């Protein structure tokens, strides 16, 4: 017997779960010496302080710059690569293997290599972000075009469509859902790349804040910085998801 939960019940439970979580967090933080976690209230205070002192904004600025420099090219390169792969099948089959490997492999392993070649700067972080996300964008674009229903292509041909018509009026609109999904995954992966790069390239952007706070054992600040980072990522990705839903409103 399955009761469909009412809207109130669900939100009530969620609120309860959150409150419980915060309460535990606060308790854990207050335990002297037992855990290195600051209390929820202390974290909130540190967050506020970071925000108002401008430190957070500055760090976000640096990180954002690296992020855009890495993710922008990932999309601008990834989509054409995926399209090219779809239009030149032998190339597609070959490149697909490399993309699959790139997606399965822990990209974090190349970070030391990147540091050695580029040093510790925006370019290095950007490259890491690029390498983390580009394969996903390309792979999803490739898949999206390949999955466009051949029946629709046939229909267009029956109405005497030229090749450019097929590309712009059938293939691209048809592949759009997967291309957008690819951008979304790429975005999530780009954030991972950003976090990994910044944590490893310690004196940098948000990573600097985190490493800095950690080395001075200022856990309040560290927690606040980390959570700020995570929240930023989640907010951006949810935003993109919503945008995606809006753009693809023709799907049921």
Interface residues for another protein in 181-220 (CB under 8 A)? 181, 185, 188, 191-192, 194-196, 199-200, 210, 214, 219
Q: Which residue has the tokens 């993109």?
A: 240
Q: What are the φ/ψ torsions at residue 106 (nearest 5 degrees)?
A: -70, 100
| Helix count and strand count (H, E) for the chain | 11, 0
The interface with another protein within residues 63-82 (CB under 8 A) comprises none
Which segment (50-58, 64-72, 80-88, 223-231) binds another protein by CB under 8 A? 223-231
N- to C-terminal Cα separation, the chain: 29
- Per the CB < 8 A criterion, the answer to whether 25 and 37 are in contact is yes
The interface with another protein within residues 130-169 (CB under 8 A) comprises 136, 139-140, 143, 151-152, 154-162, 165, 169
Per CB under 8 A, the list member of 170, 171, 179, 180 interacting with another protein is 170
Between 130 and 191, CB nearer to another protein: 191
Q: What are the φ/ψ torsions at residue 111 (nearest 5 degrees)?
A: -60, -45
- The site string for another protein over 19-58 (x = CB under 8 A, - otherwise) reads ----------------xxx---------------------
Which segment (50-58, 71-79, 80-88, 221-229) binds another protein by CB under 8 A? 221-229
Among 56, 31, 4, 41, which residue's Cα sits nearest to residue 228? Answer: 56
Give how far Cα 167 sits from Cα of 31, 152, 164, 248, Å: 63, 12, 5, 19
Distance of closest approach, residue 66 Cβ to another protein, in angstroms = 14
Distance of closest approach, residue 17 Cβ to another protein, in angstroms = 7
Per CB under 8 A, the list member of 68, 88, 105, 243 interacting with another protein is 105
Give how far Cα 129 sits from Cα of 5, 57, 183, 198, Å: 41, 20, 13, 10
Distance of closest approach, residue 58 Cβ to another protein, in angstroms = 19
Per CB under 8 A, the list member of 44, 69, 123, 176 interacting with another protein is 176
Give how far Cα 12 sits from Cα of 6, 15, 26, 89, 209, Å: 10, 5, 21, 53, 36
């Amino acid at each position: 017997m399955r009761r469909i939960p009412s809207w109130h019940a669900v939100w009530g439970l969620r609120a309860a779960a959150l409150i419980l979580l915060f309460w535990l967090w606060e308790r854990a933080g207050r335990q002297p010496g037992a855990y290195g976690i600051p209390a929820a209230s202390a974290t909130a205070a540190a967050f506020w302080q970071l925000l108002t002192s401008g430190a957070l904004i500055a760090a976000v600025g640096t990180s954002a710059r690296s992020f855009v420099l890495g993710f922008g090219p990932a999309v601008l390169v990834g989509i054409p690569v995926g399209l090219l792969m779809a239009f030149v099948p032998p190339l597609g089959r070959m490149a697909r293997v490399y993309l699959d490997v790139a997606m399965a492999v822990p990209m974090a392993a190349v970070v030391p290599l990147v540091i050695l070649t580029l040093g510790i700067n925006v370019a290095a972080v950007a490259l890491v972000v690029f390498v983390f996300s580009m394969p996903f964008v390309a792979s999803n674009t490739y898949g999206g075009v390949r999955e466009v229903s051949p029946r629709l292509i046939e229909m267009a041909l029956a109405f005497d469509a030229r090749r450019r018509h097929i590309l712009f009026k059938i293939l691209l609109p048809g592949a759009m859902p997967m291309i957008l999904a690819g951008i979304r995954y790429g975005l999530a992966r780009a954030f991972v790349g950003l976090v990994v790069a910044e944590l490893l390239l310690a004196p940098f952007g948000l990573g600097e804040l985190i490493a800095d706070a950690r080395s001075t054992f200022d856990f309040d600040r560290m927690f606040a910085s980390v959570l700020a980072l995570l929240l930023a990522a989640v907010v951006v990705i949810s935003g993109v998801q919503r945008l995606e839903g809006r753009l693809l409103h023709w799907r049921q």
